[in-house]
Amino acid sequence: MSLSHVLYTKRLRLEPVTSEVIIAANRGRAALEASIDAQVDDGWRGEHVFGAGRSTTVDSKPRHMLVIHEAARSLIGEVRFEPLRGGEGYEIGYAIASSWRRQGFATEAAAAVIKRLEDHGAMQIIAGCAMTNKASIRTLRRLGFELDGSSARGNAFWWVRRPSN
């Protein structure tokens, strides 16, 4: 399953990280901004998407979406999704620039990606979260995730969401 098309929410545009976007990012901030028609917020670092030689494609299929605030025309975060072994689900993650947090953008962006994944047959979606990250725990609960207490790792717990029938 590929999310190769732009998704829109009430306030956001979710832009797939395609090979063209990666090439633009490698050319620098100005090229990235031109390719996504948005400014890069200074608080968004992008290391989850573009940093440390990280590959953002699986078999040429985008697995990251850039979160762009439409009114401000600003790149404020990302949503990551990776297929689980067995192909029946995905692991999801998200990050929002600090100056844009606590306004529901992570929930709004992740909900759009989750809907698309479930519309295309994802039977479960999981997310890891540090036990101390209260904001992310609230986000996961708003998104319909339940704690999977059997899969704690260190100071992190795993959460699971199964589509409603």
Homologous superfamily (CATH) of 7-161 is Gcn5-related N-acetyltransferase (GNAT) (3.40.630.30)
Q: Where are the domains of the chain?
A: 7-161
Per-residue pLDDT, 56: 46
Selection from 9, 37, 8, 32 nearest residue 22 by Cα: 32
H/E element holding 127?
Answer: strand 124-130
Q: What is the pTM of this model?
A: 0.87
3-state helix, strand, coil in the chain (%, to 5): 30, 35, 35
pLDDT in tens, the chain (165 residues): 557 789 999 999 999 998 899 888 888 889 999 999 999 988 877 755 665 444 444 345 668 999 999 999 999 999 999 998 877 799 999 999 999 999 999 999 999 999 999 998 888 999 999 889 999 999 999 999 998 865 556 677 899 998 775
Q: Tell which residue, 59, 58, 76, has the closest CA to residue 67.
A: 76
Q: List, in order, residues 6 or more apart from 53 with CB less than 8 Å away.
A: none
Distance (Å, whole) CA 67 – CA 61: 18
